[in-house]
Structure formats: C-alpha cells, structure tokens
Structure 1
C-alpha cells in the first residue's frame, strides 16, 4: 500500500504542473505543508519565477503575466480580498487558484443545492479573476487541491490548516446553550450534535472530512470508524454519513480501522515532561518558524565564516528539521522519531562521523557519553570544506538542532519538571487539590526574584494545566477557593512585573495594549483591581479547554 509521503507529493503535483513561468503565492498553512514535501525548491524546479507570501502587500511585475495562488481556506471573505488586491496591483493575464476546499464544500457553505451546475462557484470566481485582471478574455482557472497534509515521516502526517481544531470544552457548551431555548439546552457535551456547532467549526470539520476522504480514495481504502470522546464522535459520524465517502467505500479494496481521539483526553501528555524522545525536546525548546506549527529554527551561524559575538545573526537563514530533499538526513530524522533520547543522540553522532569520514575530514573519534560540544566540534569540520558542507547540509542542520537543544537552558529544566510532576501526581493521589496548589505557590516568583532554574510564566502555566488536567471534576470547597485566590493574586503580580511576555502568555492573557492597561491598574489600585476573570482565571480554571 502507498504511504502518506507519496500521497502528500501526489496532491501537490497539479500545482507543480501550473507553475511554469508563474509567480506563486502561498498562505502560511499551505507553505508549511509544502515545506515537508520539498519546500519552495519544488516550485522553482517546476518552473516558478518566484514564491511569495499570500498578502495584499505583494504583487507581480509588469513582465510577469502569470500567477498561481494556493490557499487552504474558502474562496470567501478575506481570502478573496487578498487575491483581488494582488491581481489589481499586478499585470497578470493568466491566474490559477488552488483551494484546499472542494467545490461541494463551497456549495454547502453557501447553502447552494448540490445538484446545480457542476463547478458553479468555481466558474463564478473565474469570472471575477478575469474582471480583476481587466480583460474577460484573459485566462482564469479555479481548482481543488487537498494540500492539507504535511508528511513528517512516511507514516506520520499533520494538518497545519487545522492546527486550531480542538475539542469542545465546558465553556463552549455554555456558549452553544446561550443561543438555545431552555427546553433545548444540552445537558452535556456528549449530547451536542454537528448542526449545533458554530458554523466556523462545522467548516473545519468538513474540511478535515474532505481531506481524509481524498486520502482514503488514494489508498483505495474503506474505513471502519471508531471514536473516543464526544467531539471525535461528531467527526466520525460526519465521515460515515458523507455522501462522497459512502460512494468511495462501495468500491474500495483495502480495509482499515480509523480511530478518532479527543485531544483533551491527554492534555497532561501535551504539557508534561515524561517523554524520553529527542525530537520532542528539540521541538519543545527551539524557537518555532514564524507561521509554522511543526518545525523549528536551527541557528546555522556555526556553519558560516561569520564571527558573531552573541552566536546569532539575522543575516544567516535558519535551518530546520524538514529535510525531504536530502535522503541521508531524511533517514536520520525518521529514525530519531522512534527511538529513545540516548540512542538518538548516538545516532546523530554516528551519522556525523560517517559523513566526515566519507569527506576525508580530520575527525577524532571519542567513545562514551555524547556531549553537545563534541557534536559541535564535528560540525565545525564541515565549515572548512565548502563541498562537504553542501553535500551534508541537511545532516548538519539536524546535528546543530541536537547540539543546541542539549545546551538550551530549558533543556536543563526538563528533569526538574519531571521530578515535580511526579511529586504532584503522587500528592494528588494522596491529598486534595488545595494542598497541591499550596505546594506550587512558593515557586511562583516575579521576574526580579527568579534565578536560572526557577519556573518562568510559561512553565507555571504548563504546570497549572498539568495539575487541573489530572484532577478532573473539582468539587467546590472553601479551602480550594482560598488556595486558588492566592495563586491568582500571585500570578497577576508576576504578569505585571514581567518586562516582556512570551507569545504564549500573550495569547492566554491579553494583547500588549491590554497588558499595559493592566499594569497601570496594578500600580495605582493594587492586584485586587485587576480583572482576574478576564485576565488570569481562564488560564487556570478553564486551561484544559483552551491550551
């Protein structure tokens, strides 16, 4: 049976065929999917003139008459506005638009009868494209390409366009019930059906279903669906009842079991530090690529001749984990996904040593424990040989990612997290939640009080999610209210004393403007005046649903 990597390559083939002598505009989600298939090089090798961001601030030149747009969203709203802006600023005569949503889903969103003329909405959009280009005789095409999937390995893929798709929580149930009459309110999340969901969420589910159906069609597979969790039950039911999936299952030759699992059922796995996998630690500690959800930036200054005092430079492009065009690096990456950390680090060293030997570099072998300094010394050898550097660029990026992770301050905290989480797990079993919160309280320190091994804001929020995800249903009690109130006040103080919040903290709490206002209130009126219910409380008592 074909594997996921070949499918992900297959779904991009129609895009590549349209790229010759064209400017290509990609939204961030499609760019990330392409990143794991081969990146912009695939488009350039197919004949593209350039690859640009999908933004109203981009355009083509006077001598660039052809454009290809690849988007992961509906041809509606802001997506349409951006396409229009780019075309009007350019001199295109030939435009092709690929959308990850099939035509039937566009009909469903627009409440149009599915029996109307085939490709009606796509045809109407083609006319719009010609209108924006300024001549109805110019060429315009709108096509479906399910470019949702990013293949991290031959049998593992993710969906960047659906990174925000998340199971419902108790707060979502309250919002759904607010729009329903008293007699029709849902008693629990397990009672919620597809038609009761917000329209935006329904579209995301339909997008997932359409992508999965296309994948199973490629694999010639008929699936038997199982669900663990109320939200997964909704998705599985929609796939089972999808007319296009029913037609496929009638003739498919291969059988498979498909299990949907709510992500909220293992939030402790997402915020815990129990894993013994190198890849998990690399992704946890190194900075993410802007706009990406599944790759990190690897500082590649060590591979250059630049002398940078702080070891960083904005003029040197970062490396990454995805190396689909380098067979040796790709094989190493795939092996790292399935082995324990110690074995993975030794595997990285082995690959570096073998590569250096093939290039006749003066490498000095050493046995025993692998250190980041040792890996860096091996990598430094390639810098002096341009040809060797080019031949093994992908492998060197993975080596740098490993060395930088092992030297990262957050990596040193990993064992501290693990020890404290085990203590919390034991104490939650032996005592009540207030006692656990009282244990955490002394560890909440302001920026001026913290030392190198103390927990920062993001660390504390992860620990809170870990705690509340473990305890499940929490009975109301006076002692718990007192303990939570202490935590909230302390967290407000820490937030307001922080010189600069991380992107995660800003997402959970407030925008920078709102944070400035909160700090001013804090200085003039004290912590009690802060709007705890809107500022900090959601990240504690409802953290399970929103992190």
Structure 2
C-alpha cells in the first residue's frame, strides 16, 4: 500500500506530465534526481516530451522546437541559464515550473530590498510570478508568445513508505558560515549567510506544501539551533500561517540537528546492505542518494574504462515502476545481507532464462552463485529489457561485496569496535588517540585511506562527548601526525584546491589545527542536553558498552507508553493566544495543563537536518513497531549519508 508521501510526489509529477506534451524539457540535477525516484527519464518521453536536456546555459532548442518546459529549483544561476536558453532558441511557448516556493523565490529576486509589505500582505507569490513571466517574455523577444509560471513542490523522494529525503537540500547542514557553533547564542535568520538563510526558507516552503497537500497542521518540537530556525520559519511565515487556518489534521513535527550526534553517520558498524553500498560504490552521476552500478558484466563486448571515466551508462538500485525491485530495495535497508542475497537469488532463478541452472536449495547464497545467474542473461536483450531492475540490483550487491573498498570498510569497522571497548574500559585516562596516531602513520601498510580514519576520529570525539578529556600530549601528537598525513595525501583528500595551486606543509599544518579545533567542538555539541548528553551506554546484557545514539534514545522515549520527560525537546508555542490561554489556565485551574507530547497527535514526523543512515532508519522503525503504539511515525532527512561524506560535512578541509 502506497504512503501519503508517495502519493504526494506522484500527484505533483502528474501535474508536470500534463504540461510537457510537445515540449522540449530542460531539467536541473536536483529535480532530475526527484524524477528518477518517480520513474525516470522515460516518464517524460512517454508523456509526450520531444526531448530532454540538462538545464545549462550551453543548451538550446532546435529551430523547429517552439515549446519549452523548464523544471528548476529557480536559483539565480538557474534563472540566468533559462534566460540564455530562451534567448538562443526559437520558442514561442515557455512554461517555467519552479520547484521552490514562489514566495521564497520572490525574496531572493529582491535580495537587499525592503519588501516587507509585499510579504506580510501575502502578495509575494503573485509578484514573483509576474517577475518571472516578464523575464521569459523579454527573453523570447517576439510579439506572439505564451508564458506560464507555476509552483510544483518537487523537493522530496520516498525510498520507503516510512522514509523521505530532500535532494535539493543535500548540502544543507547545521553550520554557521562554516562553523559548527555560531558566534552568539542568539541566532536568527539574519545572522546566517545568504545561502544558509535561503536553504532554510526553501526547505520550509517545501514542507509547507507537503503539509498543505495532506491537510496537516503541525505542532513543532526541535533539538538544536538550526532546527529552531527552521521551526521558526514554519511557525511565522505568512504562507504557513495561512495554510494552518484551513488544514485540519494535527500532526507532530520533530526537527533535530545532525551535529548533536555524529556517531551514527560516521560509524562503519552497520548491518544495512544499503549503507554498505552507499559507502563503497560510486554515487550515480548528479545524484546524492543513488549508487552507480557497473553494467559491463551484461555486455557482450569488452569494455575498457577508468572508474572516473564512465563510458557506459551506469545502472542503479531503485526502480520505481517495478514492485519486485521496490521490495528488494526495502530489504536492502531493513534486512540482513544474507536475506537480501537469498531474495535476489530466488528472483533471478525464476527468470525465463534458457540456460538457467534452475532454482536450487542452497544453504548459503554466495556472490558467485548470484553472478552465475546474472551471467546467463548476458547478451540476451529481451531478458535484460524485461528484468533490467533486478539484474542491476543483483550486480550492485555483488559489486559491493567484492569491492576492494569493502575490505577497508570491514577493517575500519573492527578498529571502531576496539576503540569503543578501550573507551568504555578507561574513560578517564585513555590511549585511544595514541592508537589512532599510530593507525594514521601505518595506514598505507594496512591499506587504509586517510578519509576513513578522519571519519573514525569524528566518531570518537562525538562518541566521548564531554565524558572523556583526552591527554593534551596525545592531541598534540595527533595534530602533528595529521599534518604530515594531509600533506602526503592532499591530492586525494583536499577537493577544494584550485588547479595549479601547490599545497605547502604550512597549509597542511593549518588544516590539521582546524581539524583538531573542529573535533573539540564536536565533543561539546551535547553539553547543553540533559537527558541525551551521553551516547555510550551499558550493554543490555550487562557486559561492556555500546553506542545508543541521540536519535535512537529520543525515539525510544517518544514511543514509550509511560511518556518519560523530554527536557531536551523544545516545543514551539502556538503563539500569544496559547501563552494567554496557558496563563489563564494556571489562574483558574488547580492543575496546570500538562506539557505537550509528540504522541498527542496520530502522525509524527521526525526530520533530521544533515543526513541519516539506512541503518538508523531501520532501527528507528523497529523501535516504533515493537513499542505497540498505533501512531504513524515517519522519518525524514536531507539525504542518505556514509561515514566519509559525514566527515567532509563536518570538518574544515
């Protein structure tokens, strides 16, 4: 059964398909990623589009093409690209579909101007529409023309029925002009950079449209400073206030900063096949949540290619139009590797292959046994076309298991477990940093990448929090070791270095100093929390310690029928009326009204700013199911993330 969130996306894509007949479609990367999760390119072509191109200023329409549809997040650069494309083409009919809320686009178009009256009067959407229509009209430059500007909220994808992600905001992170903590405790929107402020407004606009479509009226709870800002926009934006007057279904929205707990996303200890695939396989080009699968095993010709030079279109693992593949994808998140392999083997065995070895009862399904079934379809175009989805998924899982990166991943996993044991054994005086310095020095002998060890460092500092004070001598030694290692590996580690720039040892030393500063900040992120300031907990069996993340602890408490106090979860009041009502209640009642709780509403959405892992989604969903509550709990985040990506999000490299 489809979820309301899946229906939300599907219904809005239908609105797009209704407008593309006879048009050439120009689409940006983030919107293209959303399209992939609805069915992909062929949805546009089968819907009547005469062509599909990237939204680039170097593209244009052919002389005989007179209708264009632009699918865009409507950033300033993209709007300029649209003007260039239209000016260099022969269009007489242009439809601009903004995937960002037009009231936010209006603010960005008028950055630096006083437009308070327009915003508060609710005219921002109509004014933005006029400005964009005028832009299209001027670019067309003909007397006979037709232009249309509409808002369609294409900002989310739904990998499963209880999970949604937001590709346009995959770069959004709880940072303040590059810092993990703002300079001041009093943070508002205007203390952020333009890009950070824009991202919050855009995300709030997308969530507002989601809630409007589903008639949701949210009560907002939050943990973290950036979450409080997003909550504030959702509470006070004129379009959100207008929506709440008509929406009738109460829900709870819980927003959390990822930086409160970086252990979960930097951990290599995961049971999820999806997490391992995201960690060891390359990303699908232009995507933030999909992996690229090497399809050469299905080719009859010999393909010679470099990993960074894709000569052949890669495969992927999500196939929206194949129910069997959707089930397998769900297994990749929620089942063990053994169960996923058995599922793939059974489905491949049932394909109508002339040389198929047939369905056998195996005690253990190996990568080799799955590879043999895939190999039978090599060169069989009919089978490949009819069953492309399951073949791509099978190849993806096999390539993940056999990847050289997998052995490195497993090695870091074992090192991570040793670190936790050492920290738990001697919290006051620990030699963990000394061990990590040694690992960094000997990384090449062990076949380890520096970026994986940096992810392990972030994991350690977030895990210990303020509970462990590391030896200063060990920290100084670590900083010196990092400086040398960064210089040795700077070509692969530092991605923002300009072409031709020669990196010096002094620069690497400064980078290592910045990293150590960031690590110390990471260890302080939970200092203000009362209930969730520690994530290193006694194991349930009483032997040793284990990691129990802030997210996991919070959700466990949320679904606890005894409703323990949640002092760290702040609640956005409904406004002055709510404050007056509360005060009056205190005066006229013997007992003040109890504190609001997220489970007071049937639907609860837990949204994490800064990324989440598939394993976390599985564990949180399992907590909800085993709790026995009948509330609907939906998990949302900005993206799927792996340990290295999480490390790069948080460290200054």
Which TM-score band (shorter chain)?
Answer: 0.7 to 0.9
**Match for residue 431 of structure 2 among 435, 440, 447:** 435
**Residue matched to 1:546:** 650
Are the aligned partners of 1:59 and 1:89 in contact in 2 as well (CA < 8 Å)? yes
Tell me how far apart the structure 2 counterparts of residues 537 and 356 of structure 1 sit (CA, whole Å).
60
Deviation at 1:381? 1.5
**Given the alignment of the two structures, is residue 296 of structure 1 paired with residue 309 of structure 2, yes or no?**
no
Post-superposition offset of 1:356: 4.7
Whether the aligned pair in 1 keeps the contact of 2:218 and 2:253 (CA below 8 Å) is: yes
Deviation string 1:180-201 (CA, Å, 9 cap, x unpaired) is xxxxxx2x3xx32334222321
Q: Is the 8 A contact 2:440 2:453 kept in 1?
A: yes
Does 2:383 align with 1:388?
A: yes
Counterpart in the other structure of 1:207: 202
**Aligned 8 A contact 1:433 1:480 in 2:** no
Does structure 1 residue 341 correspond to structure 2 residue 337? yes
Tell me how far 1:531 sits from its aligned partner.
Answer: 4.9
Pair 1:6-2:7 in alignment: yes
Work out the CA distance in 1 between the residues paired with 2:471 and 2:498.
33
Are 1:506 and 2:494 an aligned pair? Answer: yes
Post-superposition offset of 1:27: 0.9
Instruction: Flag the 1:117–1:147 CA change in 2: closer, same or farther, 3 A.
Output: closer
Note the 1:184-199 alignment, pairs <5 A. Answer: 186=184, 188=185, 191-199=186-194
**Distance 1:35-1:538 versus aligned 2 partners, 3 A rule:** farther
SS in 2 for 1:227: strand
Q: Distance in 2 between matches of 1:161 and 1:433?
A: 44
Give the distance between the partners of 2:177 and 2:201, measured in 1 at CA: 23
- Contact 2:9/2:38 (8 A) holds in 1: yes
1:168 aligns with 2:175: yes
Correspondence for 1:138: 145
Residues 437-459 of structure 1 show CA distances to partners (whole Å, capped at 9, x for unaligned) of: 2101222248xx824x4211221
Name the structure 1 match of 2:540. none
**Which whole-Å CA distance do the structure 2 matches of 1:369 and 1:80 have between them?**
55
Post-superposition Cα deviations, 1:157-176, rounded to whole Å, max 9, x if no partner, equal 211110111113696377x6
Q: Deviations over 1:466-499 (max 9, x none)?
A: 1222233586964245323332333234225xxx
**Residue 181 of structure 1 aligns with which residue?**
none
Equivalent residue for 2:483? Answer: 489
**Comparing 278-287 and 160-169, the one that deviates more:** 160-169
- The superposition leaves residues 239-268 of structure 1 with CA deviations (integer Å, 9 ceiling, x where unpaired) of 122333333333434332211111112211
User: Cα distance 1:476–1:273, how it changes in 2: closer, same or farther (>3 A)?
Assistant: closer
Aligned pairs for 1:203-352 within 5 A: 203-308=198-303, 314-352=310-348
Question: C-alpha root-mean-square deviation of aligned residues, in Å?
Answer: 2.7
Q: Say which SS state the counterpart of residue 444 (structure 1) adopts.
A: helix
1:354-405 deviations in Å (ceiling 9; x for gaps) = 3357x78343625122211111101112225332222111011001101111
The yes-or-no answer on 1:20 pairing with 2:21 is yes
Equivalenced residues, count: 511
In 2, Cα distance between equivalents of 1:118 and 1:409: 52
Give the C-alpha shift of residue 31 in structure 1.
0.7
1:364 to 1:322, Cα distance in 2 relative to 1, 3 A: closer
SS of residue matched to 1:129: helix
Superposed, which structure 2 residues align to 1:40-189 within 5 Å? Answer: 40-74=41-75, 76=76, 78-109=77-108, 110=110, 111-112=114-115, 113-114=118-119, 115=121, 116=123, 119-168=126-175, 172=179, 177=183, 186=184, 188=185
Whether 2:471 is the aligned partner of 1:471: answer: no
The answer to whether residue 30 in structure 2 is matched with residue 34 in structure 1 is: no
Please say which of residues 192-201 and 371-380 is displaced more in the overlay: 192-201
State how far apart, in whole Å, the 2-side matches of 1:32 and 1:310 are: 25
SS at match of 1:142: strand
Which structure features the higher share of helix residues? 1
- Kindly provide the CA deviation profile for residues 68-113 of structure 1, in whole angstroms up to 9, marking residues without a partner as x: 1111133x3x222211211122111111111122222233342422
Describe the shift of the 1:136–1:472 C-alpha distance in structure 2 as closer, same or farther (beyond 3 A). farther
Which position in structure 2 is the counterpart of 1:183?
Answer: none
Per the alignment, residue 379 of structure 1 pairs with 374
- Equivalents in 1 of 2:71, 2:197: separation in Å? 22
Matched, 1:460 2:453: yes
Task: Indicate conservation of the 8 Å contact 2:422/2:430, yes or no.
Answer: no
Cα 1:433–1:440 shift into 2, 3 Å: farther
Task: Please give the per-residue CA displacement for 1:297-344, whole angstroms capped at 9, x wherever unaligned.
Answer: 101111121134679894431100120122221222123222122222
Task: Give the 3-state SS of the residue equivalent to 1:223 in structure 2.
Answer: strand
Paired with 2:422 and 2:133, the residues of 1 have a C-alpha distance of 63
Bigger shift: residues 289-298 or 325-334:
325-334
Asked if the contact 1:346–1:370 (Cα under 8 Å) also holds between the matched residues in 2, the reply is: yes
Contact 1:59 1:86 in 2 (8 A): yes
Cα distance in 2 for partners of 1:335, 1:258 equals 27
8 Å CA contact 2:479–2:516 kept in 1: the answer is no
Q: Deviations over 1:196-219 (max 9, x none)?
A: 222321221111111111111222
Name stretches of at least 5 consecutive residues in structure 1 with no aligned partner.
Answer: 178-185, 522-526
**Shift, 1:20, TM fit:** 1.1
Distance in 2, matches of 1:421 and 1:531, equals: 26
**So what's the TM-score if we normalise by structure 2?**
0.73
Distance 1:274 1:440 in 2: 17
